[in-house]
Structure 1
Amino acid sequence: MVETSSSLLQLGGPVVLVLLGISIAALAVILAKAFQFSSARVGRHGHVRRAVAQWRKGERSKASQNLLKDRSLSGALVRGAMDAIQLLDQQPMSSQERDIREERLREEISARAADRLFALASWLKALDLVTQIAPLLGLFGTVLGMIETFQTLQESGSSANPASLAGGIWVALLTTACGLAVAMPVSVAVTWFETRLEKERATLEVLLTGVFTAGAGAPQLAEHAATARAPNATL
Structure 2
Amino acid sequence: MLNFILQANPVTDTIANAVANPASTEVSVTENISYLEFLLKGGVMIFPLILLLFFCVYVIIERYLSIKKAAKQDVNLLNDIKMQLKTGKLDNAIMLCSRENTASGNILRSGISIIGRPIGEIESVMEKTANIEIAQMEKGLTYLGLISGIAPILGFIGTISGVIKIFHTISNTGNLNIQTISGGLYEKMISSGAGLVVGVVAYSAYHLFNMMIDGFALKVQKQTLEIISIIQEPQNGN
Larger Rg: 2
CA distance in 2, matches of 1:55, 1:188: 42
Alignment of 1:114-129 (within 5 A): 114-129=131-146
Residue 43 of structure 1 deviates from its aligned partner by 5.2
Q: Distance in 2 between matches of 1:81 and 1:123?
A: 28
Size of the aligned set, in residue pairs, is 203
Number of the residue aligned with 1:135: 152
Q: How does 1:209-228 map to 2 (within 5 A)?
A: 209-218=225-234
Q: Per-residue CA shift, 1:45-97, capped at 9, x if unaligned?
A: 523443465468x2453655544532321022213322331xx2xxxxxxxxx
Match for residue 110 of structure 1 among 105, 110, 127: 127
Quick one: percent identity of the two aligned structures?
A: 19
When normalised by structure 1's length, the TM-score is: 0.75
Contact 1:22 1:130 in 2 (8 A): yes
Amino acid at match of 1:121: E
Instruction: Give the letter for the 2:226 counterpart.
Output: G
| Runs of 4+ with deviation above 6 angstroms | none
Match of 1:15, as an amino acid?
Answer: M
For structure 1, the 5+ residue unaligned runs are: 89-97, 222-235
Q: Which of 189-198 and 159-168 deviates more?
A: 159-168
Equivalent residue letter for 2:153: L
| 1:178-233 superposed Cα distances (whole Å, 9 cap, x missing partner) | 00111112211111110011111122122112212324444996xxxxxxxxxxxx
What RMSD, in angstroms, separates the aligned Cα atoms of the two structures? 2.6
2:217 pairs with one of 201, 205, 209? 201
- Shift of the 177–142 alpha-carbon distance from structure 1 to 2, 3 Å rule, reads same
1:26 alignment partner AA: C
Query: What TM-score do the two structures reach when normalised by structure 2?
Result: 0.74
Residue 37, structure 1, aligned to residue 67, structure 2: yes
Which blocks of at least 5 consecutive residues in structure 2 are unaligned? Answer: 1-32
Partner residue, 2:102? 72
1:15 aligns with 2:32: no
Q: Partner letter of residue 137 of structure 2? A: L
Asked whether the 8 Å contact 1:106–1:212 carries over to 2, the reply is yes
